[in-house]
């Protein structure tokens, strides 16, 4: 059994991948923690990407919840934002309590209630998750904030209207932040979200051979961070790229705090490399995988030749332009985990995609990239800073 610790971190999630792919057990069960102590940058979706990878593993077993009664199960679901997507994504598995009793039937109505609160941005806290589960054929499968008639993706203008309350919610702990700092960036946020989620709609619902994926998650998380800059540097000491980013100079409030909006997009599709190459196995050199990510970031390029939609041909280039001079972006797909600091390394349209600078997430290197166990899908996490504005 693989046990997820309550002090889970991005580094510890990498250890989970190692355990998954090195296990010799006939069935590899997964046990969730009582809680996750810190929801740092991209952590929730980093965990969900691992969960999707576990589910797709041919020897994945049962999902264990740390509860013994129905009442505990309901409270566990309500109190922890990682539980609902875990249950829905693992619904075809046995979901058992500490007595090894399958409790899926007991979770149906509480899960529906949780969805309804989530759908109206009424969950506790200031994190806003929006989930699409392509295998769920009910009206809960595709978010009404992202789709019309549950099948047609909304345009960018409608998306901005639909998500306005979501951004109000993540700024609700400090309304002056929303009024003075966040609102003026709404067009940029909507552009980033629409571009990235459109990519999941067009490239991540089927596998690299065009077959529907089951189960499958495509999702968005919005989150507001307010931390003292020295604390951020201390907390991310293990990731040189983020430390360098936080040392580039920001407009802070009177307490030395930096305001950050996190936008994370996750899918459990084939990932950028498999989709681009149309291959089922990742047997490429890691630098070739990174170069394919660069191709997807390159202007007038896309991950499939038959890309359809209003943003045809621009790949993820628009996202880089929107983040230019401000943001930080991490991309984890296949066996690669890379980032780009758009504040220190400004946007530039290169003559070749290979000239785009990407750094290894763990080593900060731009030439030698670590090989990670292959993760399902693509995770993109963005930090977008808000300059402090006086009232």
**pLDDT at residue 175 tops 80:** no
pLDDT tens-digit readout, 129-144: 999 998 876 666 889 9
Q: What is the pLDDT of residue 301?
A: 58
Q: Which residue in 132, 126, 124, 134 sits closest to 167, CA to CA?
A: 126
Place of tokens 């006939």: 26
Pull the structure tokens for residue 307.
């890309």
Q: 315 or 1: whose pLDDT is higher? A: 1
pLDDT grade, residue 225 (50/70/90)? Answer: very high
* Res 148 pLDDT > 70: yes
The pLDDT of residue 306: 37
C-alpha 341/C-alpha 326 separation (Å) is: 8
Domain boundaries, the chain: 1-120, 125-391
- The model's confidence at residue 180, banded by pLDDT at 50, 70 and 90, is confident
67-33-222 Cα angle (round to 5): 115
Q: How far apart are CA 125 and CA 44, in angstroms?
A: 14
pLDDT tier, 282 (very low <50, low <70, confident <90, very high otherwise)? confident
Q: For the residues 256-275, what does the mean pLDDT come to? A: 95
Q: What is the mean pLDDT of residues 367-383?
A: 97
């Amino acid at each position: 059994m693989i046990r997820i610790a309550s002090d889970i971190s991005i580094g510890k999630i990498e250890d989970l991948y190692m355990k998954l792919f090195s296990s010799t057990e006939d069935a590899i069960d997964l046990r969730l923690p009582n809680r996750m102590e810190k929801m740092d940058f991209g952590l929730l979706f980093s965990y969900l990407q691992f969960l999707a990878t576990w589910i797709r593993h041919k020897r994945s077993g049962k999902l264990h919840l740390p509860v013994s009664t129905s009442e505990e199960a309901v409270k566990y679901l309500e109190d922890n934002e990682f539980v609902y997507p875990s249950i829905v994504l693992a619904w075809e598995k046995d979901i058992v309590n500490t007595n090894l009793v399958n409790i899926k039937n007991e979770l149906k109505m509480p899960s529906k209630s949780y969805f309804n609160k989530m759908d109206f941005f009424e969950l506790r806290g200031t994190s806003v998750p929006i989930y699409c589960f392509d295998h769920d054929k009910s009206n809960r499968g595709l978010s009404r904030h992202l789709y019309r008639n549950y099948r047609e993706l909304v345009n960018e203008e409608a998306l901005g209207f639909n998500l306005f309350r979501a951004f109000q919610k993540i700024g609700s702990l400090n309304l002056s932040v929303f009024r003075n700092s966040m609102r003026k960036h709404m067009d940029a946020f909507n552009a980033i979200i629409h571009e990235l989620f459109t990519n999941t709609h067009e490239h991540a619902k089927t596998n690299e051979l065009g077959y529907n994926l089951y189960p499958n998650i495509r999702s968005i998380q919005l989150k507001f961070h307010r931390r003292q800059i020295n604390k951020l540097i201390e907390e991310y000491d293990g990731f040189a790229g983020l430390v360098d980013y936080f040392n580039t100079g920001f407009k802070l409030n009177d307490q030395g705090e930096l305001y950050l909006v996190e936008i994370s997009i996750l899918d459990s599709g084939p990932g950028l490399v498999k989709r681009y190459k149309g291959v089922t196995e990742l047997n490429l050199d890691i630098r070739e995988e990174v170069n394919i990510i660069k191709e997807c970031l390159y202007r007038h390029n896309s991950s499939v030749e038959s890309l359809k939609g209003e943003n045809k041909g621009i790949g993820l280039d628009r996202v880089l332009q929107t983040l230019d001079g401000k943001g930080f972006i991490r991309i984890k797909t296949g066996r690669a985990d890379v980032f780009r600091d758009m504040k220190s390394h400004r946007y530039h349209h290169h003559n070749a995609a290979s000239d785009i600078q990407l750094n290894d997430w763990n080593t900060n290197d731009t030439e030698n990239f670590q090989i990670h166990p292959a993760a399902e899908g693509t995770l993109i996490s963005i930090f977008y800073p808000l300059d402090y504005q006086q009232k």
